[in-house]
Amino acid sequence: WFSKLGQAPQMITRGGGAAGSAAVAVTRIPAGHPEGYLEAFATLYREAAGVIASQNLDGATLGVQDGLDGVRFVDACQRSSRDEAYWIDLR
């Protein structure tokens, strides 16, 4: 489920109508089937190979700040879940 601030929740499913083009590009199995460990790494390797093959490495690597932002995001998700799904300000 996903909801924009102040809007009704909507269910987004793999391969469903609400999925954006970026999600569709990395979807390998039909909606309703769990995407597993193997598929996640296959997608990661495909994306990395594409960057390497293009030899355009500008912005292709993540840094410490990106990792920290990711940890803060996961922490906010957990806090939101514990607090009845309230929005958590990440600014």
d(CA 71, CA 74): 5
Query: Helix (H, G, I), strand (E, B), or coil: what is residue 26?
Result: coil
* Banded pLDDT at 74 (limits 50, 70, 90): very high
C-alpha span between 22 and 20 (Å, rounded): 5
Identify whether 50 is part of a domain: no
> Is residue 72 one of the residues assigned to a domain?
yes
Q: Quickly state the pLDDT bin for 77 (edges 50, 70, 90).
A: very high
- Total structural domains within the chain: 1
Is 58 among the domain residues?
no
Quick check: 1 pLDDT over 90?
no
pLDDT one-digit tens code per residue, 29-57: 766 666 676 677 788 888 888 888 887 77
Distances (CA, A) of 90 to 1, 48, 73: 20, 28, 7
- Range(s) of the domain holding residue 91: 63-91
Length of the chain (residues): 91
| Position 46 in a domain | no
Q: What pLDDT, on the 0 to 100 scale, is given for residue 43?
A: 84
